[in-house]
Amino acid sequence: MRWISVGNDGSVRILTYGEGVNRSWYGISGGTMGQINTTLGPGIFTNLGIRNQVGVRNSLMNGQRK
């Protein structure tokens, strides 16, 4: 999971939290999770990265307008 944090001083941070990969999850075997992560992971994280970049840019631009 990734999210953006903007401090009161205008500082912007991208935070990342994860529990690991390739382990059993809600009855799905670790091997299957590994295949899912390998197949879907790059697209998911590329999309999240783009959204984070846009969010940071917007936050910085809004801070300049104050």
User: Could you tell me the maximum CA-CA distance found in the chain, to the nearest angstrom?
Assistant: 51
**What's the structural domain count of the chain?**
1
> What is the structure's pLDDT at 66?
47
pLDDT at 28 over 70: yes
pTM of the full structure: 0.48
Q: What is the pLDDT of residues 8-26, one digit of tens each?
A: 887 778 787 776 666 787 8
Cβ atoms 4, 13 nearer than 8 A: yes
Rounded distance between C-alpha atoms, residue 66 and residue 36, angstroms: 44
Q: What is the mean pLDDT of residues 21-38?
A: 82
> What is the structure's pLDDT at 21?
62
pLDDT at 30 over 60: yes
Sign of CA dihedral 31, 35, 41, 42: positive
Domain that holds residue 41: 2-65
- E strands, 1-66, are 2-6, 12-16
52 strand-pairing partners: none
